[in-house]
């Protein structure tokens, strides 16, 4: 059974934002409860254990996974590096759709959270062709692999489950976009 079950666009956009929040900062208690209830997740870790796993995975010394497209999706002859050609291509896509990321926020444009929020932006604007194109050129080329790496290094069932849910969601969402464009 597909993850995507005739979600309305506002629900799809909200799901992208919810997933984005799990990779940009340590999840709050309310977010953990929301995900556990919404997806009937089976994790039993405390919120403290999950936050410690986030820090170990994504921040500080000894970071395990760098959730940036430029680390996973780069041209032949190029090399994986932050702020490389892939980052520039993502920025260009954002600009082509009228979105400029505030310099004050200082985000790297190809961070998993930023790309997921951008998908919600495209959905909210009703830009179905651009959603499909962004998924094909960016999201599908790296987020499933990144999720596999996160799941491999995660010490909590929470992040392992979240990664499977996110992969299922984006693949199902893409399939629905393709089906609706035919």
Q: What is the Cα–Cα distance from 51 to 153, expressed in whole angstroms?
A: 14
CB-based contacts of 39-47 (< 8 A; 24+ apart in sequence): 39/161, 39/165, 41/157, 41/158, 41/161, 41/165, 42/157, 42/161, 43/156, 43/157, 43/158, 43/161, 44/157, 45/156, 45/157, 45/158
Q: Let me know how long the chain is.
A: 182
| DSSP-assigned beta bridge partners for residue 68 | 111
Give pLDDT, residue 138: 96
Give pLDDT, residue 4: 46
Q: What is the pTM of this model?
A: 0.90
Per-residue model confidence as pLDDT tens for the chain (182 residues): 344 455 688 899 999 999 999 999 999 999 999 999 999 998 899 999 999 999 999 987 767 899 999 999 876 667 777 778 888 889 899 989 888 776 655 678 999 999 999 999 999 999 999 999 999 999 999 999 999 999 999 999 999 999 999 999 999 999 999 998 87
Give pLDDT, residue 103: 60
Task: Please name the fold of domain 9-181.
Answer: TorD-like (1.10.3480)
Give pLDDT, residue 2: 43
């Amino acid at each position: 059974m597909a993850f995507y079950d005739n979600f309305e666009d506002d629900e799809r956009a909200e799901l992208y934002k919810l997933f984005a929040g799990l990779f940009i900062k340590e999840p709050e208690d309310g977010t953990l409860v929301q995900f556990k209830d919404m997806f009937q997740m089976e994790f039993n870790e405390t919120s403290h254990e999950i936050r410690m796993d986030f820090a170990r995975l994504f921040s500080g010394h000894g970071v395990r996974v760098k959730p940036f497209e430029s680390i996973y999706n780069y041209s032949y002859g190029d090399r994986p590096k932050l702020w490389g050609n892939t980052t520039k291509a993502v920025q260009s896509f954002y600009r082509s759709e009228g979105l400029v990321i505030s310099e004050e926020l200082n985000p790297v444009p190809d961070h998993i959270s930023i790309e997921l929020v951008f998908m919600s932006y495209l959905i909210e604007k009703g830009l179905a062709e651009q959603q499909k194109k962004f998924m094909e050129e960016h999201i599908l080329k790296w987020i499933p692999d990144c999720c596999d790496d996160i799941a491999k290094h995660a010490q909590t069932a929470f992040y392992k489950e979240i990664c499977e849910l996110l992969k299922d969601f984006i693949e199902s969402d893409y399939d629905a976009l393709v089906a609706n464009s035919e």
